[in-house]
Structure 1
């Protein structure tokens, strides 16, 4: 599978050390399967007058050795998981988490929920109309080293 990562630098040797904490799926190396999504995300670097790259990789993790959490929709499980990760309370160990991105439209809803302005039920009703843009968060260094191969970079 081909995956993409937007950055202001070439990332030919990815790691989890440079990840920020409290992201959607916790600390990890984030990728997408949609090149257009990575290019759109890379535009933020151009707006800051920085270099912008889409780094391209292949992921080969087709065995049962890895502990993977896969969210197929913006549902209660996804919302609870993201809430726990963003607050630093997520304690389950996964090599990779796959699921929807909290994009601009989704983030407004989950921020309202996290801040107590809407209930979980209202948040889930709003989210059910959103089609997830999938992100891959590789959380283990071992999986990064064994399964993700850098191919090339595209400068925007």
Structure 2
């Protein structure tokens, strides 16, 4: 499977320990199978005056020796797992987690829910109308060492992104 990671750096050897805490699926290395999504994310770095790269990897298809969780939609299980991870209570239960991103629209809903300003039922009702973007979080460094292969990095520039939108 081809996966992408947007960064201001070329990352040939990802390291789980360098990830930030309190992210959607915990402290891990985040990727997506949707190149356009990675390019959109890379624009954040350009707006900050940094370089932006799309790092491309191949992830082995057979990961049967690992504990993998896949969230197919924004449901109660996803909501509770993301909430626990964002509070730092997720713990490393899985080696790999795949599912939707808590992007701006989705994050507003879960933020209201976790602040106690929206019921779980209302939050799930709103999330039911959102089509999940895609992210894969590798939480186990052994998966990276043995099953994720760096292919290449492509620099993204403002000019290139303008040409792509024509």
TM-score band, normalised by shorter chain: over 0.9
Shift of 1:91: 2.6
Distance (whole Å) between structure 2 residues aligned to residue 63 and residue 17 of structure 1: 21
The alignment partner of 1:17 has SS state of helix
User: Partner of 1:121 in structure 2?
Assistant: 121
Query: Any residues of structure 2 matched to 1:1-150 within 5 Å, and which?
Result: 1-150=1-150
TM-score by length of 2: 0.92
CA RMSD of aligned residues (A): 0.8
TM-score by length of 1: 0.98
Distance (whole Å) between structure 2 residues aligned to residue 125 and residue 94 of structure 1: 27
Shift of 1:90: 1.2
Distance (whole Å) between structure 1 residues aligned to residue 131 and residue 37 of structure 2: 14
Distance (whole Å) between structure 2 residues aligned to residue 108 and residue 144 of structure 1: 32
Number of equivalent positions: 156
Distance (whole Å) between structure 2 residues aligned to residue 22 and residue 92 of structure 1: 12
Which whole-Å deviations, capped at 9, do the CAs of 1:16-66 have from their partners, x for residues lacking one?
111001100000000000000000000000000100000000000414201
Q: Which moved more, 1:60-69 or 1:107-116?
A: 60-69
The alignment partner of 1:116 has SS state of coil
The alignment partner of 2:132 has SS state of coil
Task: Extract structure 1 runs of 4+ deviating beyond 2 A.
Answer: none
The change in CA–CA distance for 1:10 and 1:92 in structure 2 (over 3 A counts) is closer
Gaps of 5+ in 1: none
Distance (whole Å) between structure 2 residues aligned to residue 116 and residue 74 of structure 1: 19
The structure with more helix, counted as a fraction of residues:
2
